[in-house]
Structure 1
Amino acid sequence: MANKRGLGRGIDALFSDEEDKKEAQVVEKVAPKKDDRNSVSTISLSSLKVNPYQPRKTFDEASLSELAESLKQSGVIQPLIVRAHGKNYQIVAGERRFRAAKLAKLTEVPVIVKDLSDSAMMELAIIENLQREDLNPIEEAQGINSYMKELALTQAQVAEKLGKSRAGVANTLRLLNLPTEVQQLMIDGKLSMGHARALLGLDSQPDMLLLAHRIVKEGLSVRQVEELVRKSANPEKKSSNQGSKSTNIYAEEVEHQLEDKFSTKVSLSKKKIEINFANEDELDRILTLLGVNLD
């Protein structure tokens, strides 16, 4: 998602930000519709509490500083979405603006108060964040995991709600099987998704951690890590799986990315890619994604 940068963003930065638009769209889907749902109030920053179901744990400091500078000049134009919680209010959507307002030393912000249950608030917060592109993979995995547990959903149900493939959701959740220290390396941007999926081919977490540190130290590519993982497998495992696509981590990575793109099952074998479709409508959708026009 390409966001405009620079202190010259002014009112446009506060009112037309793509992040704000996505928040509003998700709120309208989850929040109950009432006649006063767009009524704007002004409340003290000190009465606002962060969303306990917020999957995002890290916020870009440079982006927050830029927004804070704009807020000093123009104030907060786009209201935050909140819900009443005791004597205070919990932020449903708009935590980035809340943090920037604190940096700008503002004392109050405009809000729209919504009547939301705990489950609706969680669903809104998680979906709104997971539909963005700037969550790191571990935050995404943790958000999906919380979503499933708190609302008792299956992977298939979560995939449908998020517009992702079932395989894509399953493989994102697998990241939580990595050691905590390896997860932190991903959060810090030192390991890629490809590195992580390769590491998951190892049998033990200590081995994953050792290889992860080697990746960072030596700057190993995903292909190099895949080869090291294959060599570390025991002879029995290698012989039983020899020639099998399941041992080819590179092939699995390609399959996962194609399944995410087409939202259907994709199989990759030697010199052949198979894309499954259930009916003519689904075929038309896939052809459109491929840029094929039969008219």
Structure 2
Amino acid sequence: MIRIDRVPIDKIKKNPSLYPEGFDRGGWERLARSISQVSILEMVILLEIDDGYLQLSGEKRIKANRKTGKTEIPAIVVDDVELTPDKIEIIKNLQPDDIDPLERAIILNSYIEEEGLTKRDASKKLGIARTTITLWLIILEYEERYQQAIIDNFNNKEGAKLTLSHLDLAKSLDSTVDHKTATKFLDAIMKYNLTRKESIDMKKLIQKYPNLNIEEVSEMIINRKLLEDDLAKSGDLGEDFKEIIESFDTINEKIKVIREAPTGVNAEMKQKLLKEILFTEQKLQQISVETFGKTINYLSKSYL
């Protein structure tokens, strides 16, 4: 019999003296390595014995689970050690699917280090895109609270919806601004549950104006979201908005002049002024997009 089960890690034994004569451990390990599902890098395959389980393969994954403090591990459990073609086919179709992003990253990183591989080499061996490997490993570069938020999101728990994609955006701030700003960026994403699109907008603002306070940038993004909601609920935007759109290019040019002009006010006042200018610019841009869309829709109904 072959089954998939959750097994207590402390019940797994690694004792060569328990293996029967002629046991081909290498065959089981090759089978584990040959399964190149993107959800798992090394299978845990166990033989059920009287007082627990005998490890046939999956040492790296077992170690990774211990490192993350887990007490159980999903494993494929077999009832004998004979490796037949039928058994291989069955095992290849049994896949534990609850490996979380941190566990996966630890396993992948251990594999790369132990094999002495570059990411490019690992990509070729595992059949996984190098950009995907880089994204999977990024979780190891950030603090425990962000790792836990991603695991919670993976497990559909209540709370911050942080993803590896968010960490990837933070990484670009790490390299272009600094790590402190990147972590504040992630804190804001978690606090306001920002989408990827909103996070990208926020990252661009931070990179363009690194002296802005993160909370102020977050406020601008949230205000933009509220404005989008209001505009979506509204009907015809009216002639006033059309007039704004007609003069938008001129207004935008004036904003640029104001932003670049030297002022005699103190630093705090400059910061407030810049924030107001940027927020005004965002509102005008949003109104422009919404009005253009409604105008196109109106013309389509009128002339088509």
Q: Report 1 or 2 for greater relative contact order, CA contacts < 8 Å, sequence distance ≥ 6.
A: 1
> Which protein has the bigger helix share?
2
TM-score range, shorter chain: 0.3 to 0.5
How does the TM-score come out when normalised to structure 2? 0.40
